[in-house]
Amino acid sequence: MMRERQRREKLSQSYADLYAMVSSRSKGDKNSIVQSAAIYIHELKGARDQLQRRNEELKAKIMGHDEQQQCVKVQFEVDEPSSSIDSMIAALRRLKGMSVKTRGIRSSLSGNRLWTEMNVETTIAACEVEKAVEEALKEVERKQPDSDGPFPGSKGWTQTSHVQNVF
């Protein structure tokens, strides 16, 4: 009996708390309290969705994002690059020549591996961006003299790239 009484008191307190939040919308009986709360929650979800859309619009406006452009993430790795700086410059020059806007770059050189990730805006298909970066990297390796390793393009040199849509 005591547990049932505690349960009823807790339930009554919960209705009272809920009524305090929706009192202007409700008659006061339990059914109208719950209905008013459900309507209010639905309205809040709609307002949240609208604010999120507006937030995305403002972010795009701040970044100068054009609706026709897509944001893509370009990732590439070069094992044993003859010059990691030349590889990076070649990739950036190729992107610039394609009128691609670079929004962010993260890169690391660890041992004999160059890893880079770039966020870019482009109206060009992502696969075309990837192909252009690959060609630029291969071109750098062909131009660099290799004194103590295999010739560029041989088994000792590998390069991979990956492009994905960001939003």
Confidence at 148, pLDDT banded by 50, 70, 90: very low
The residue ranges of every structural domain in the chain are 11-52, 70-143
pLDDT tens for 68-93 read 667 778 787 888 777 778 888 888 88
Calculate mean pLDDT across residues 151-158: 42
**CATH superfamily label, 70-143:** ACT domain (3.30.70.260)
Checking if the pLDDT of 50 tops 60, the result is yes
Average pLDDT, the chain: 78
Burial of residue 2, with CB atoms counted within 10 A of its CB: 0-12 exposed, 13-18 middle, 19 or more buried:
exposed
Please report the pLDDT score of residue 63 as a whole number.
66
